[in-house]
């Protein structure tokens, strides 16, 4: 058996101030590597094809996207024939003129292969699932955990199912239900955890091949954006339909479970420090660069200073111009900076003040997702303003773990308040020592105040933007078999 592994990965935020060009795509992606490793583990001959990933940002330019898609197809043609083509895609990729990149990519791959080739697709759960994708792929497996800890496990499932499909041992049918909800779920926490656990039990104990609980990515602003459920069985249509209906209802029932935890900036500080020990961790979720924002928003910084708070540390501000000034000034000096607030109006006003340069690290590394090597991020600095310490860099990445503070001499466990530009991937690492965790909905390009965003392409009805009830969940549609 010959297996091809390829990847073209981008989470697109239509409201992002950060443009996306061909040069922004690098040849490394953890989901691709997990899929490749799972394929190699089968002992089959595995061929590496294109791997191209850009950090979350605005839609890719049309010509750049077409170049990458065509390179992927050219690799398959040049290195084939293959029995299985396995693709690591994101699910929420948008390019100019292409609202459904994944459907387009898989269509192009299908057109280049014979019908006997099995196409298996691995997706992030922040995906928009299109009927076109499900028509063209034989198997689609979406991860279940947020933070995304299960790429290795889901990759192994996809590889196993794809090989069995190609061997003719299984005949997958997939029931698909788009759930009319814009939301997100923190899967280590209840009640989301119980829905994920129920899906895993069905996979383990029942005759279900795979279940995908898709959170969706509203900020991609495409018609297919929103939650969804996929249930794949071995030819058992009734079972697939039944479980898809039940799980769609489960997602509907918990639609407000985690969105309801988001606080305003003001309310994020409305806590009683006597009720817990350990730092208050505030997630600046609206400015999560992991969802395409600029990582330069100043809303919380302005609030912290206005409240006169000290023993506060914040990470990670991406402001290359400010960093260059800090490096030129050197450790121990004080300089006036206009920090952040430069990508667009949603990032707030620059914070202007006299900052002390506490430390500079020219070869800094920060945590990646748990289980993956740290990221090399070049130069980072710690600067402070009246007891508020800020980690400054020129690398746009969300906070996954506490190393971002320690690399510049800040001990996170010793702070009263930590502010992290991250929506949920920080959670597992910080929950081990945080006294309390608060999700703050800053009004940036990843806000969960969906009514404030200028959607142009979304479908309707969708909760919470429209008058919408459980009766608006459509009947499942079957693919395959
Ligand atoms: Zn994701």
Q: For the stretch 233-259, what's the b/e string if a residue is b when 16 or more beta carbons lie within 10 angstroms of its beta carbon?
A: bbebeebbbebbbebbebbbebbebbb
Spacing, Cα 119 to ligand 1 middle (Å):
22
468 within domain boundaries:
no
Burial class (CB within 10 angstroms; exposed 0-12, middle 13-18, buried 19+) of 185: buried
The residue whose two tokens read 């900036």 is 265
Cα–Cα distance for residue pair 318/342, rounded to 1 Å:
10
| 126 CA from centroid of ligand 1 (Å) | 5
Whether residue 90 is found in the same domain as residue 167: yes
Ligand 1 center from residue 425 Cα (angstroms): 9
Which residue bears the tokens 């065509």? 70
Going from the Cα of 50 to the center of ligand 1, the distance in angstroms, rounded, reads 21
Q: Please state, in angstroms and rounded to a whole number, the distance separating the CA atoms of residues 85 and 457.
A: 31
Ligand 1 center to residue 392 CA distance, Å?
24
Q: Do 325 and 420 have their domain in common? A: yes
CA of 407 to the centre of ligand 1 (A): 26
**CA 353 to centroid of ligand 1, rounded, Å:** 35
Q: Both 42 and 165 in a single domain?
A: yes
Are 82 and 171 in a shared domain? Answer: yes
How many A from CA of 181 to the centre of ligand 1?
17
The sign of the CA dihedral 410, 412, 414, 416 is positive
Distance 351 CA to ligand 1 centre (A): 30
Q: Is residue 452 part of a domain?
A: no
Residue 212 sits at the vertex; the CA angle it makes with 207 and 217, to the nearest 5 degrees, is 170
Based on the fold, state whether residues 170 and 284 are members of the same structural domain: no
pLDDT at 481: 74
Task: Give 367's contacts (C-beta < 8 A, 6+ positions apart).
Answer: 374, 375, 399, 400, 401, 402, 403, 404, 429
Are residues 289 and 314 both part of a single domain? yes
Using alpha carbons, list the distances in angstroms from residue 301 to 206, 353, 383, 419. Answer: 51, 12, 13, 9
- Domain identity same for 153 and 244: yes
Collapsing DSSP to helix, strand or coil, 179 comes out as strand
Contact 426, 415 (CB under 8 A): no
Beta bridge pairs of residue 9: 53
Residue 464 inside a domain? The answer is no
Tokens at 15, concatenated: 């409201």
Terminal CA-CA length for the chain: 22
User: Ligand 1: distance of its center to the CA of 75 in Å?
Assistant: 27
25 and 79 both lie in a single domain: yes
Report yes or no on 10 lying in a domain. Answer: yes
Tell me, yes or no, whether 72 and 175 share the same domain: yes
- Domain annotation covers residue 466: no
Which residues neighbour 89 within 8 Å (Cβ) at sequence distance 6 or greater?
7, 8, 9, 101, 102, 105, 106, 121, 122, 123
Ligand 1 centre and the CA of 362: distance in Å?
A: 30
Integer Cα distance of 180 and 299 in angstroms: 31
List the domain range (segments joined by +) for residue 35.
2-258+474-480
Same domain as 49, residue 139: yes
> Is 0.75 topped by the overall pTM?
yes
What is the full per-residue pLDDT of the chain (481 aa) written as tens digits? 999 999 999 999 999 999 999 999 999 999 999 999 999 999 999 999 999 999 999 999 999 999 999 999 999 999 999 999 999 999 999 999 999 999 999 999 999 999 999 999 999 999 999 999 999 999 999 999 999 999 999 999 999 999 999 999 999 999 999 999 999 999 999 999 999 999 999 999 888 999 999 999 999 999 999 999 999 999 999 999 999 999 999 999 999 999 888 999 999 999 999 999 999 999 999 999 999 999 999 999 999 999 999 999 999 999 999 999 999 999 999 999 999 999 999 999 999 999 999 999 999 999 998 888 999 999 999 999 999 999 999 999 999 999 999 999 999 999 999 999 999 999 999 999 999 999 999 999 999 999 999 999 999 999 999 999 999 999 999 999 7
- Residues 38 and 145 grouped into a single domain: yes
Burial of 188 (C-beta count, 10 Å sphere; 0-12/13-18/19+)? middle
**215 Cα: distance to centroid of ligand 1 (angstroms):** 9
Instruction: Compute CA distances 327 → 144, 322, 332, 380, whole Å.
Output: 42, 9, 11, 9
* Span from the CA of 125 to the centroid of ligand 1 (angstroms): 6
Which single residue is written with the structure tokens 């995906």?
Answer: 127
b/e map of 424-440 (b: 16 or more CB within 10 Å)?
bbbbbbbeeebebbbbb
The length of the chain, given as a count of residues: 481
How far does residue 91's CA lie from ligand 1's centre (Å)?
9
Q: State residue 369's pLDDT score.
A: 86
Cα-to-centroid distance, 342 and ligand 1 (Å):
26
Q: How far is the CA of 363 from the centre of ligand 1 (A)?
A: 28
The whole-angstrom separation of Cα 380 and Cα 315 is: 10
280 and 226, same domain (yes or no): no
Residue 233 in contact with residue 182, Cβ under 8 Å?
no
State the residue for tokens 């249930």: 231
Find the 182 Cα to ligand 1 centroid distance in Å: 14
| pLDDT value of position 1 | 94
Hey, how many other C-beta atoms are within 10 angstroms of the C-beta on 270? 9
**Separation of CA 124 and ligand 1 centre (Å):** 5
Q: What spacing in Å lies between the alpha carbon of 310 and ligand 1's midpoint?
A: 33
- Answer yes or no: is 119 within a domain: yes
What does the pLDDT read at residue 65? Answer: 98
In Å, how far are 113, 169, 289, 294, 401 from 281, measured between CA atoms? 50, 50, 17, 21, 12
In a 13 Å sphere around the CA of 158, the CA atoms on its Cβ side amount to: 37
Task: Output the CA 390–ligand 1 centroid distance in Å.
Answer: 26
Is 276 among the domain residues?
A: yes
Residue 356 lies in a domain: yes
Question: For residue 144, how far is its CA from the centre of ligand 1 (angstroms)?
Answer: 10
CATH number where 138 lies: 3.40.50.2300
Structural domains of the chain, count = 2
Query: How many CB atoms within 10 Å of residue 97?
Result: 11
């Amino acid at each position: 058996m010959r297996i091809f592994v390829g990847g073209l990965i981008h989470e697109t935020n239509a409201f992002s101030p950060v443009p996306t060009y061909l040069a922004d795509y690098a040849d490394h992606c953890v989901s691709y590597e997990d899929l490749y490793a799972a394929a190699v583990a089968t002992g089959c001959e595995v061929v590496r094809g294109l791997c191209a990933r850009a950090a979350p940002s605005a839609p890719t330019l049309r010509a750049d996207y077409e170049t990458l898609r065509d390179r992927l197809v050219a690799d398959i043609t040049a290195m084939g024939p293959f029995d299985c083509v396995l693709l690591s895609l994101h699910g929420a990729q948008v390019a100019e003129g292409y609202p459904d990149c994944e459907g387009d990519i898989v269509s192009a791959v299908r057109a280049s292969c014979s019908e006997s080739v099995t196409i298996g697709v691995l997706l992030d759960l922040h995906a928009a699932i299109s009927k076109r994708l499900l028509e063209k792929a034989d198997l689609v497996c979406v991860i279940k955990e947020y933070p995304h800890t299960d790429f290795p496990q889901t990759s192994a499932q996809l590889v196993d199912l794809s090989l069995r499909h190609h061997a003719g041992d299984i005949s997958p049918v997939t029931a698909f239900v788009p759930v009319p909800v814009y939301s997100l779920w923190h899967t280590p926490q209840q009640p989301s955890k119980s829905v994920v656990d129920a899906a895993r039990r069905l996979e383990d104990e029942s005759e279900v091949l795979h279940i995908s609980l898709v959170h969706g990515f509203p900020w991609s602003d495409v018609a297919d954006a929103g939650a969804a459920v996929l249930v794949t069985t071995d030819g058992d249509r009734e079972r697939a339909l039944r479980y898809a209906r039940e799980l769609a209802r489960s997602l509907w029932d918990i639609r407000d479970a985690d969105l309801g935890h988001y606080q305003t900036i003001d309310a994020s500080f409305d806590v009683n420090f006597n009720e817990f020990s350990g730092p208050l961790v505030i997630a600046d979720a609206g400015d999560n660069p992991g969802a395409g924002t600029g990582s330069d928003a100043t809303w919380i910084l302005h609030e912290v200073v206005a409240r006169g708070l000290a023993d506060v540390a914040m990470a990670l501000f991406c402001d290359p111009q400010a960093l260059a000034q800090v490096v030129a000034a050197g450790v121990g000096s004080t300089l006036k900076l206009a920090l952040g607030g430069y990508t667009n109006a949603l990032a707030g006003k620059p914070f202007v003040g006299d900052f002390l340069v506490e430390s500079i690290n020219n070869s800094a590394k920060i945590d990646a997702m748990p289980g993956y090597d740290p990221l090399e991020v070049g130069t980072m600095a710690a600067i402070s303003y009246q007891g508020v310490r800020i980690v400054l860099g020129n690398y746009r990445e969300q906070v996954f773990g506490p190393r971002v503070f320690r690399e510049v001499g800040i001990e996170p466990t010793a702070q009263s308040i930590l502010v992290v530009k991250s929506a949920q991937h920080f959670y597992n690492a910080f929950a081990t020592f945080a006294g309390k965790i608060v999700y703050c909905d800053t009004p940036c390009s990843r806000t969960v105040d969906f009514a404030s965003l200028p959607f142009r392409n979304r479908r309707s009805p969708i909760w919470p933007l429209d008058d919408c009830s459980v009766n608006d969940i459509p009947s499942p549609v079957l693919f395959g078999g």
